[in-house]
Structure 1
Amino acid sequence: MSKGVITITDADFETEVLKAEQPVLVYFWASWCGPCQLMSPMINLAASKYSDRLKIVKMEIDPNPLTVKQYQVEGVPALRLIKKNQLLESTEGVISKDKLLSLLDQHLNSN
């Protein structure tokens, strides 16, 4: 599995997220979003740290309204942790690196 963060669109969502074998962290962001700039390095860190157990994708909200609506993204940055079409965790706004890693550890170590 790739160690990087994969950029996806509405058209890719089903294949890349819903049909993925491992859990997927979806990072919703926007180019105009200042707080998203703070989250990006943490998302990249998580991609490196959990690459063996987790797939991370990022989706820009403005060109992808279908998935944004489906997952009720009301603010960015937003995270959705999905496994086999089931929403495991949802956050909006900037979260600390410790909180992000704790959230991922909680779900990835229990599976």
Structure 2
Amino acid sequence: MTFDEIIDHDKPVLVDFFAEWCGPCKLMPPILKEVKDRLGDDVRIVKIDVDKNQAIAERFQVRGVPTLIIFKNKTAVWRQSGVLQASVLEQQIQTHLNA
């Protein structure tokens, strides 16, 4: 499955752009799990290693990690860099669920 196929969805797709060497990125997995546990099938969560997927990172101008982008129907509808609380991510995803 290509990246475009992954983000071509009518439900929000949260993409976590990360790097193995990034300290703050290591804080994200439990936060993303909490979001997934709360929202279940209402969201798809995908992790993209910027070192292994440089073309995708460049395409979406990811300059720092972690960068989180919510896509809906192939369109980036929200983005933010840095570690975020699960409640913030959940609120952003909920905003785009019914939009």
Aligned to 1:65: 54
Which amino acid in 1 is paired with 2:28?
M
1:16 maps to 2:6: yes
Matches within 5 A, 1:24-43: 24-43=13-32
Q: Which whole-Å deviations, capped at 9, do the CAs of 1:88-107 have from their partners, x for residues lacking one?
A: 10010112233222222222
Query: What is the identity percentage for the equivalent residue pairs of Structure 1 and Structure 2?
Result: 33
Partner of 2:78: 89
Residues 56-110 of structure 1 deviation map (CA, whole Å, 9 limit, x = unaligned): 11111101011101111111111110001111100101122332222222222x3
Structure 2 residue 90 is the aligned partner of structure 1 residue 107: no
Structure 1 CA distance for aligned equivalents of residues 60 and 76 of structure 2: 9
What is the root-mean-square deviation in Å for CA atoms of aligned residues? 1.5
Structure 1 residues without counterparts, runs of 5 or longer: 1-10
Q: What pairs up with 1:39-50 in 2 under 5 angstroms?
A: 39-50=28-39
Q: Give the Cα separation in 2 of the matches to 1:23 and 1:97.
A: 15
Partner amino acid, structure 2, of 1:36:
C
Amino acid at match of 1:14: D
- Preserved contact between residue 12 and residue 93 of structure 2 (Cα < 8 Å): no
Q: Quote the offset at 1:40 in angstroms.
A: 1.4
Corresponding residue for residue 5 of structure 1:
none
1:102 and 1:53 map into 2 onto residues whose CA distance is 12
- Structure 2, gaps ≥5 residues long: none
4+ residue stretches of structure 1 with deviation over 4 A?
Answer: none
Contact 2:70 2:78 in 1 (8 A): yes
